[in-house]
Amino acid sequence: MSKITPFLWFDTQALEAARFYTSIFPNSKIHGREQFEHTGPDEKQTVQIISFVLDGQEFQAMNAGPMFKFNESVSWLVDCEDQSEVDYYWEKLTADGGEESQCGWLKDKYGVSWQIVPKALGECMARDKTGNVMKAML
């Protein structure tokens, strides 16, 4: 396991989300599932933790109730080689209720924010000392 592992809090969809994500990204799999009976906020709820890997990056997801929601302050950046890869991830992650945003941002059907970005954009921004690339992107 990585020293730092992103940990996602879901109401009830952790396993469903892990299955969704591992179906999209190469070199991905679910490798652990734990259940803790009567440990949720209301003492009747079962907490479930799912461990999975997305293209080499470890993640954990937990079902623990509706207290917390995802927002844009945290997002996952997907560095894409070309437009076809951008289109692939954009289509998959916005499917079945995801929401498109601007500048390569989207929310998937679980409310998790993603940035789908071509590598060329980062390279252009690194060379641009005037800020024109950022202005054009926005």
Which pair of tokens denotes residue 96? Answer: 């079945």
| Angstrom distance (rounded) from CA 89 to CA 16 | 18
pLDDT for position 131: 63
Query: For the chain, which domains are there?
Result: 1-68 (3.10.180.10), 70-138 (3.10.180.10)
pLDDT for position 38: 57
75 beta partners: 113
Spans in the chain with pLDDT lower than 50: none
pLDDT for position 119: 79
| Angstrom distance (rounded) from CA 35 to CA 48 | 4
Which pair of tokens denotes residue 11? Answer: 């109401």
pLDDT for position 103: 80
